[in-house]
Amino acid sequence: MKRAIAIATLAAAVLLAAWPAAAAPCVGGQFRYWSFSNGNDLRDVLAYWAPGPFHAQLEYWDFARGEDLLRPEVGIHLRDAHRSVYTVQWRHERDAERFWLAPELVLSSHTVLRLAASPIVSRDSTDWVLSAGSDYYWSSYNFASWTILRDPRGEDLWVVPLRVRLAFEDTNWLQYTLAPASKGSIGWALDVKKGWLRAGIERNSRYDFTRLGNTIVTLGVDLPLVREP
């Protein structure tokens, strides 16, 4: 495990040295309250810092019942001359380490192709979460997207999130997501950003690869980091 993390870190460092920086710098935090259908709940607090070509995030899951969880995360996001973005990311998840390799390829002035391979490496096994999708942009930061995602854990869940974002003055937006899934389940979410404030509500009839339904309420802040000229 330590060797795998060292290799991933070295590869990310090499990529960082070889590619120009990408992404708008920002800092922020969120409080998310999760209510599960089994009567449990979760208070999810996270803070992130994204100064440009990488981000760092620290998240704490505080369960009403069950073992709490600290989830550190680091990702590098590199942009080429065509504005395509290549992400290498790691997150600690309880007894496993999760990695992402995720290119977002600009195909035209309106269309982006997204691919992602995310191995979840535990002591005894490795599960691969795979996804593919695309975004269509029009008029500033307005976009519609679709994704197909397979999570092999548990009952082997397939999810197809469909998302539309309407942007106002670039930094303000309203976003709706509908996420039909296999096993006869469906999810939806409504998110809004106004200035530095973010808020949202999400409902799932099946949480990830489990049988639990949940409702999530989010409140957060997202602040731009202004760089000196």
What is the per-residue pLDDT for 77? 95
Kindly report the average pLDDT of the chain as a whole number: 87
For residues 215 and 205, give the distance between their C-alpha atoms in angstroms, rounded to a whole number.
Answer: 9
pLDDT score recorded for residue 10 = 39
Residues 6 or more apart whose Cβ sits within 8 Å of residue 103 = 84, 85, 86, 87, 114, 115
- The class of domain 2-224 in CATH terms is mainly beta
Which tens digits make up the pLDDT trace of 63-121?
Answer: 999 889 999 999 999 999 999 999 999 999 988 999 999 999 999 999 999 999 999 99
pLDDT, residue 212, reads 82
pLDDT at 129: 94
Lowest mean pLDDT across 7-11, 215-219, 225-229:
7-11
161: its two tokens: 């999130």
pLDDT score for 23: 54
Rounded to an integer, the average pLDDT of 136-160 is 89
Give pLDDT tens digits for 16-69: 333 344 457 899 999 999 999 988 999 999 999 999 899 999 999 999 998 899
- Does the structure show a pLDDT above 60 at 13? no
Q: 218 vs 4, 42, 118, 158, CA distance in Å?
A: 34, 12, 25, 25
Alpha helix positions (H), the chain: 2-18
C-alpha to C-alpha distance for 42 and 21, rounded to whole angstroms: 36
Q: How confident is the model at residue 227 (pLDDT cuts 50, 70, 90)?
A: low
Model pLDDT, residue 3: 45
User: Where are the chain's structural domains?
Assistant: 2-224
Q: First vs last Cα of the chain: how many Å apart?
A: 42
Q: Span 175-189, mean pLDDT?
A: 91
CB 129 within 8 A of CB 147: no
